[in-house]
Amino acid sequence: MKVWTRSKASFACGRCANILPPGSPRLQFVFRGKNGPFAKDRCEHCADEPVPADLPIRTMNFHEPLVLTAFDIDGVERPISNLKPMTPIQRIELPVDWRKKAAGE
């Protein structure tokens, strides 16, 4: 089955191996295999037919940044402002022979 779509992510053409950006038109061949369906992609230059004129333009939706909130005792939802996204973890180095160190030797 052949289907013209616009790509959601960057992809490589199966014939010329050019990396194409998201939103570019591609011809997708879908085959049935033993382990389920698989697809082969072609860019608009390597496809054997022109891009259809009614192919919709894919718009990228960008979301607002996520704001973490919590409820306090009164039941009011408030943003958490002092939350650090990545907390560094200290490395703990074990002694060479941890069994003797644990036994007190």
Backbone angles phi, psi at 99, to 5 degrees: -65, -45
How many other CB atoms are found less than 10 A from the CB of residue 20?
19
Q: Regarding predicted confidence, which is higher, 42 or 85?
A: 42
Q: What is the pLDDT of residue 27?
A: 92
Q: What is the pLDDT of residue 63?
A: 63
Which of 46, 61, 36, 18 lies closest to 28, judged by CA?
46
pLDDT at 43 exceeding the cut of 70: yes
Rounded to whole angstroms, the Cα distance separating 74 from 68 reads 18
Rounded to whole angstroms, the Cα distance separating 32 from 38 reads 6
* Sequence spans of domains, the chain: 2-43
Instruction: Tell me the per-residue pLDDT of 6-25, one tens digit each, with 9 for 90 and over.
Output: 888 888 998 998 998 888 89
Instruction: Tell me the per-residue pLDDT of 48-104, one tens digit each, with 9 for 90 and over.
Output: 889 988 888 876 665 667 777 888 888 888 887 776 666 666 666 665 677 777 787
Q: What is the pLDDT of residue 10?
A: 87
